[in-house]
Structure 1
Amino acid sequence: MLQLSWLPKPSSEWKKQFVEGMELSGNDLECWEFIRKNCQYDLSISDIRRVDKAISSIFMDGVPDGLPNAPIRLAILSSCTIGHLLSAIRVAAARRNLWIDIYTTDFGQYVHELSDASSALYAFKPDIVLFSLDSHHATASIASAKEPIVAREKFLAHLQWAWRTAREGLGATVIQQTFLPLFPTVLGNNEVRCEHSRNATITWLNDRLRHEDVLLLSVDAEVAQDGLAAWYDQMLWYRAKQEIHPMAAAMYGDMAGRLLAALRGLSKKCLVLDLDNTLWGGVIGDDGMEGIALGQGSALGEAYLAFQEYVLALKQRGVILAVCSKNTESVAKEVFEKHPEMKIRLSDIACFVANWTDKATNLRMISQTLNIGIDSLVFADDNPAERAIVRQELPMVAVPELPEDAGLYAGALARSGYFEGIRVTDDDLARSAQYQENIQRRKLAEVTTDIDAYLTNLDMTMIWNDKITPVTLPRVTQLINKTNQFNLTTIRTDEGEITHLMNDPHSVVLVMRLKDTFGDNGIISVITCQDADGNKTEKTSDLRIIRWVMSCRVLKRGVEQAAINLLAMIAAQRGKTAIIGEYRPTDRNAMVADLYERLGFSKFGEQEDGSTLWRLDIPRPDLPHHIHLEKA
C-alpha cells in the first residue's frame, strides 16, 4: 500500500475505539465530527472501507445536518474498473470536511451517457466531472494506425469534445486524469521518437494535457516518484480491468480529495515553521550562530538549505509564512538577519512569534494576527511531542509528520497536498507582502486614537470594474470559493459560470481592488447580482445580490460601505428601485449576520434555517466612507 506518510499512524486500538465511538456518537454532526477525526490517520485499505461503510450506514438519508461545506456531486467517467477507488475518495473528502456523492457510469459507457441528455448522468447533475480514462483506451488505435500522429490528434480531439460537453451540457467543472506510462518500450531510451509506440503516445498526450485549459489529476507524476509497480499490476488489468492498483487507492483518493477541496477554496493558506532542527540543524540558543548546521559544507546543512528553498518557493506562489518557536525572539531573529547562508529572511515572514509560551496558544495568536481561520494553518515541527500536543489542542490545524532526515522535509510537505492549488494568480504572488502591509496598517491603527483620522491617513482608493478579463478571472473565482467569513451566501462557482454571468444582460458582476498608502491589496471584493424574478417578495425592478465576498484583510476600513454605494449607483443606472440581499448563516460567517442592517437595509423575510432577506430602496444618500472610487 502506498502510505500517506504525512498523516500519523493510528494506534493498535484504533479499530476497537472507532467501533465503540460510533456506538456512542449522538446527533448527525457529532457522528460526522467523530468520523472526520478518524480520517486524519494513515489508514489501511480495510480501515478506509470500514470508515466509508460507517458513513453510508449512518447517513443513509444523505448529508449530515449542520455540515459547514456544501456537498459535492462528483461524476467519474471511466473506461476501466474504478469501484475499488470510491471508498478512498469519499474518505479523503471527509478528511477535509467535505461530503461527496459519487456517480459512475457503467463500464465503458461514458461516451453514450455524455451524448444523451436523458441519461442518468444528466439526471445526477454533477458539480464536477472526473475523466478517469485508462491508457489502453487512449492508445487503442495507435499501434495499427497508418498515420499514428493523426490517430493521437484524433484522440485528443475526442477528449476536448468530452470536456466541452461536460462543461456546456452539464455545467460541470472538468478534471482530467493523466495517463499511466504502463507499456513496455519498443525503442528504449529514445522511445519518444517512435511514432507507433503506445508509450510515446502516452508521453505526448500527458504533455499536451498540461497545455490544455483543464484541471489535472496527475497520476503520472506520482508514478514517477513511486515506480509503476506501486500503481499498476498487469495481471489485475487482464483479470479485472483495474488500471489503478488497489494498494494505490488511498493515495489516489487523497489526490482527488485535495483537488476537490482546492476547488472549494479549502486549501491551507499559511505555513507556520518551527526553527531549531526544522529550518536549521541544532539549537540556536545553545549552539550559537557558528554551531548550527545550515548551508554549504555539510550534508546536513545543505539539507536544511534545500528545505528553506522549497519554503520560499511556496511563498512565491502565494503561501503565507509564519514562525512559531520556543526561543528568545532576539536570538532567533539574529539567524535571519546575520547568518550568511540563511535563505529565508525576516522580510519573508508575515508573522514572527518566538517566546516560551505553548505552541497551541501561539498558533491561535498567529491566526488572529493574520486574520485568517486557524484551520488555514499548516504547522511544520521536527519534534513529534510538539506535533502531538498541537494535534490534540488544535485538531483543525494541519500538522504533517516530518521524517527524521531533514533532506526529506520538502518532499513530505509537498506530498501532503495541504497547499493544493488550481492556478497561480497575481494576487497569490503578492500575498505575503500584502499581509505584512496589513500588519503595518494595524500598527498605525493602534497609535491613532481617532478612527476617522486613521482611515483618512490610509488614503484609500477602490478601483472597480464591471468587466472581468482573462487575467482577473482566476482571482475572482478563487476569492469567491475561498472566502468563508465575509461571505453572505457561500454560493460557490467556477470560471465557466462567472464567464456566463459576464455575458448575461440580466446579471451584474463587480470586481473591486483596494490601494492605500502602504500598497496594493489586490482584488479584495466581488459582488454578483441578477435581476429579481418578480415573485411575491421581489419585483422585476429589484437587483438581487447572489454573492458578496470580501477579503478579511480589508475589514473595518469602510470598504463595505463604499461597495454598497457603488452597487446602488450601478443599480440606479440600470433603472432599479431596490437592492435585495440575502444572508445564509454558516458556522463561519457570523461576522456578517448584521451587515445588511448596518448598511441601512430593511429585513423583510426570514427562513427556518436562519436565512434572512433584506431590501435597500434606491435612491438613497451615500453611506459615509473615506474611500475614493475609481473605475478601471
Structure 2
Amino acid sequence: MHWLPESSDFSVQLGSLNGAHSQETRWHDFVRLANSRLDFVQTNRLDRACRKAFPELAQEATGEPVRLAVFSGSTTDHLVAALRVGCLRRGMWCEVHAGEYGQYMQELNEPESAFHAFGANVVLFSFDARTLLGQPDAAMDAAAADGLIEHTIDMLRGLWRRAAHSSAVQVIQQAVLPIALPLIGNNEHRLPGSMRALIDRVNQRMRAAADEDGVDILALDARIAVDGLTAWHDPMLWHRAKQEISPAAGPFYGDLVARLVAARRGRSYKCLVLDLDNTLWGGVIGDDGLAGIVIGQGSTLGEAYASFQCYAKELSRRGIILAVCSKNDEANAWEPFDQHPEMVLNRSDIACLVANWEDKASNLRRIAQALNIGLDALVFVDDNPFERNIVRRELPMVAVPELPADPALYGRCIADAGYFESIGITSEDRERTAQYQGNLQREALRSAATDLAGYLASLEMRLEWQPFDLVGLQRITQLINKTNQFNLTTRRYTDAEVTAAMQEKGVVTLQLRLTDRYGDNGIIGVVIARPREPGGGELFIDTWLMSCRVLGRQVEQATMNLLVARAREVGARTLIGEYRATAKNGMVREHYQKLGFTRIAEHDDERTTWRCVTTEFTPFQTHIEPIRTGS
C-alpha cells in the first residue's frame, strides 16, 4: 500500500500504545498506526495488540461496530486480522465471523447457526472459481456454458437474499479471481467451456445482478488487472492450504473490503485539497511567473502535471470537492487558473482556495470550516514531505497520501488509495462543486449583511418539495445512508425499502430541494412519517435528516410547516418525533424542542420521544417560499 507512509519505528510505537493512560488516546493512536504502511506480519501484530488493549472498548470508535461475516469455499482465516485492521484504518471497530470452510449454505440456512447468533451487519462472499463453477468441461457448447452461468448467478442471488435478512445488512460479493490457465490464448472467449472464459462471463453477469439486488462488488479482477495475478495469488499456497488470496496480499485485501464498508456508511472522504507549486504544476508561481511554470504539452514533466489535473477534474465531475491550500499570495495562486493556456483546472473547478503564508494545518481547518465539512473528510495532497508530516502530526484525521517523486504517478497514488470509494453516483454529486461555491458566496453575503433577516430575505430561497418518486430514489437512499449529523434517528434503508415506503398507505414522504439566487443546492432533506396504526390519528416521524450545508437558513422551520400540513391532509392529529443519540448527531438533540414539540418520554438508551398536536401548531414565519413540484 504505497500511498501510506512507512513506519520506521513500528515496534516502538506498538509497544508504547499499551502504556497509554487514556483509552480514548490509545484508540486514536491505534488508528494512526493503522494508517502506516504495514506488511502481513505487522498487520497481525497490530491486530493482536488492539484486541488485547480493547477487549470491551469498541464504544471508543464512532458509529456502529462492523460485524463482518465471511463465507468462502477456500481458507480465509489468514485474512481476518487484515479485515479488522482495514476497518481500524477508517476509524471503525470490526468483529469478524469466518464461516467454516465450505459451510456457507448450512450456516445461512440453519437458524441456530453461529452466523445467525453473530448478528452480522456486513456479509462478504469470497468464492473461488471452483466453488462457483465446479469443473466445467472445456468441450461444452455455448448453450451449456450459458446454462452454467445462469445457474451460478441464480445460486449467488439466493445466497445474497438469505444473507440480507434485514435492511441493515450490507452484502459484498467478491469478483472471481482469474486464476485459470488459458487453453487457446488471446481468443479464449471463443472456447465457451474454458474456465478462463467462464470466469470472465460470470464476473460480468455478477455485476449486473448485483446492481439489481443492491449488492456491492469487491472488484478483485480489476485490481489484478493493475497489480498482476502473482501479487494476489500463489498456486503453491492454494495447493498446500487452500489460500486463494496470498498472505502478502492480505493487508490490501482488508483495505479494499473496509473501503466498501466505509462507503456504504458515508465515511468515504469528500474533498481533495491540493497544494499548487510542484503539485499541480512544476516550479513556483511566485518566483518563476506564469511563463516559467511547467504545465502541459511540449514537456514530459508538464504533461505529467496536466494528467494529474485531468484526474482531479474527473473526480470533481463525479462529486468530489476540490480545494486549494497553498503557501502563496492569493493573486499569484489564482493566476495560472485564470490565465495559463495549458491549465486543465480552472477557477470554477475549485470550491475553496486558501493561499497565505500560515501553516497548512491551520489553513486546512479554515477550508473545512468554509465548506462546512469535517476534517476527516479531507485528503491533502502536497509534494513536500515536510508539509505532509506536519499535517499528519497536527491533524491525524486528515488523509495525507505519500506522493511518489514523479508527478506522472500522482494520479495512480490517489486512485490506489481508494479515498473516494463510492457505491453509486447521483446527479447531485455531479453538481457538488457549484453547490459549495454557492455556499461560499452566501457566506460572503451573510458576513456583509447588517441583520440576519435581511440576509435571509436577500437569498430569495425556494423550498421545492414533493413526495418520494423514482427519479429522486437514488439520491434519497444515498442521503439516508450517509447523513450522520443532522439525522434524528440514523435509520438506514435500501432502494427497495424506500420504494416500499412510497407505496405504503398513509405514509408521508418528503424530498426537499433548496434553491436560491446563487443556485440549486440539490435535494437537501428527507422526511418519512408513518401512521402508528391505521386510522389512529398519529404519525411517527421515522426519518428526518438534512444536509448540514443549509443549516441556519430556516429550512428546519419551513420543513416543519410542510410536515404539519401534510399530516393534516392525511388526517393525523398528532406528530410523534424520536431522537436517537449517536456519536455524531448531538447537534439535533434539541431539534424537536426548538420546533415546539413536547417531550413525552426519556429512555435508558438515550432516546427521547416528542409530541406535537397538529391542530395547535402555529406555522413558523420564514423567508423561504415552499413550492410543490412533481405530480
TM-score range, shorter chain: over 0.9
2:58·2:65 contact (CA, 8 Å) conserved in 1? no
Matches within 5 A, 1:376-395: 376-395=377-396
Residue 521 (structure 2) aligns with: 521
Greater CA drift, 546-555 or 412-421: 546-555
CA distance in 2, matches of 1:234, 1:39: 29
Question: Residue deviations 1:586-613, cap 9 Å, x none?
Answer: 4433322222221111223334565433
Greater CA drift, 286-295 or 477-486: 477-486
CA deviation after TM superposition for structure 1 residue 477, in Å: 2.0
| 544, 551, 555: which one aligns with 1:555 | 551
CA deviation after TM superposition for structure 1 residue 56, in Å: 2.5
Counterpart of 2:63 in structure 1: which amino acid? Answer: N
Greater CA drift, 499-508 or 38-47: 499-508
CA deviation after TM superposition for structure 1 residue 506, in Å: 6.2
CA deviation after TM superposition for structure 1 residue 170, in Å: 7.8
1:125·1:170 contact (CA, 8 Å) conserved in 2? no
CA distance in 1, matches of 2:571, 2:26: 50
CA distance in 2, matches of 1:236, 1:429: 45
| 2, 7, 17: which one aligns with 1:5 | 2
CA distance in 1, matches of 2:136, 2:64: 43
Return closer, same or farther for 1:64/1:167 CA change in 2, 3 Å cut-off. Answer: closer
SS at match of 1:548: strand
Counterpart of 1:309 in structure 2: which amino acid? Answer: C
SS at match of 2:172: strand
Question: Residue deviations 1:83-131, cap 9 Å, x none?
Answer: 1111111111111111222223211121233334443333333222211
CA distance in 2, matches of 1:401, 1:474: 34
User: Which residues of structure 1 form unaligned runs of 5+?
Assistant: none
2:72·2:125 contact (CA, 8 Å) conserved in 1? yes
Return closer, same or farther for 1:443/1:623 CA change in 2, 3 Å cut-off. Answer: same
Counterpart of 2:419 in structure 1: which amino acid? Answer: Y
CA distance in 2, matches of 1:512, 1:118: 44
Matches within 5 A, 1:392-541: 392-469=393-470, 471-505=471-505, 507-532=507-532, 541=537
Return closer, same or farther for 1:623/1:66 CA change in 2, 3 Å cut-off. Answer: farther
2:270·2:377 contact (CA, 8 Å) conserved in 1? yes
Residue 225 (structure 1) aligns with: 226
CA distance in 1, matches of 2:13, 2:148: 55
CA distance in 2, matches of 1:533, 1:173: 30
Residue 89 (structure 2) aligns with: 95
2:319·2:431 contact (CA, 8 Å) conserved in 1? yes
For the aligned residue pairs, the C-alpha RMSD in angstroms reads 2.1
Residue 30 (structure 2) aligns with: 35
Counterpart of 2:149 in structure 1: which amino acid? Answer: R
CA distance in 2, matches of 1:625, 1:290: 52
Question: Residue deviations 1:341-380, cap 9 Å, x none?
Answer: 0000011100011111111111111111111111111100
Matches within 5 A, 1:308-327: 308-327=309-328
Return closer, same or farther for 1:105/1:596 CA change in 2, 3 Å cut-off. Answer: same
1:167·1:496 contact (CA, 8 Å) conserved in 2? no
- Residue 140 (structure 1) aligned with residue 134 (structure 2): yes
- Residue 592 (structure 1) aligned with residue 558 (structure 2): no
| 604, 614, 621: which one aligns with 2:618 | 621
Greater CA drift, 580-589 or 103-112: 580-589
Q: Which runs of 4+ in 1 moved over 6 A?
A: none
Question: Residue deviations 1:20-59, cap 9 Å, x none?
Answer: 32133433x3332232122111112122112212232333
CA deviation after TM superposition for structure 1 residue 292, in Å: 1.3
Residue 234 (structure 1) aligns with: 235
Greater CA drift, 181-190 or 492-501: 492-501
Greater CA drift, 551-560 or 440-449: 440-449
CA distance in 2, matches of 1:326, 1:356: 5
SS at match of 2:463: strand
Instruction: Determine what percentage of the aligned residue pairs are the same residue.
Output: 47
Matches within 5 A, 1:369-380: 369-380=370-381
Matches within 5 A, 1:185-196: 185-196=182-193
Residue 181 (structure 2) aligns with: 184
Residue 583 (structure 1) aligns with: 579
SS at match of 2:19: helix
SS at match of 1:195: coil
1:264·1:492 contact (CA, 8 Å) conserved in 2? no
Counterpart of 1:97 in structure 2: which amino acid? Answer: G
CA deviation after TM superposition for structure 1 residue 168, in Å: 5.2
2:167·2:492 contact (CA, 8 Å) conserved in 1? no
SS at match of 1:24: coil
- Residue 207 (structure 1) aligned with residue 204 (structure 2): yes
1:267·1:418 contact (CA, 8 Å) conserved in 2? yes
CA distance in 2, matches of 1:591, 1:35: 28
CA distance in 1, matches of 2:226, 2:261: 22
SS at match of 2:245: coil
2:508·2:567 contact (CA, 8 Å) conserved in 1? no
2:17·2:30 contact (CA, 8 Å) conserved in 1? no
SS at match of 2:283: coil
- TM-score (normalised: structure 2): 0.94
Counterpart of 1:561 in structure 2: which amino acid? Answer: Q
CA deviation after TM superposition for structure 1 residue 141, in Å: 4.2
Matches within 5 A, 1:45-84: 45-61=40-56, 64-84=58-78
Return closer, same or farther for 1:184/1:210 CA change in 2, 3 Å cut-off. Answer: same
Counterpart of 1:556 in structure 2: which amino acid? Answer: G
Question: Residue deviations 1:402-431, cap 9 Å, x none?
Answer: 000100000000011111111110000111
- Residue 604 (structure 1) aligned with residue 600 (structure 2): yes
CA distance in 2, matches of 1:573, 1:234: 66
CA deviation after TM superposition for structure 1 residue 202, in Å: 1.0
Question: Residue deviations 1:538-564, cap 9 Å, x none?
Answer: x95432223221111211111101111
| 100, 110, 122: which one aligns with 2:104 | 110
SS at match of 1:102: strand
Greater CA drift, 74-83 or 263-272: 74-83
Residue 174 (structure 1) aligns with: 171
CA distance in 2, matches of 1:497, 1:119: 27
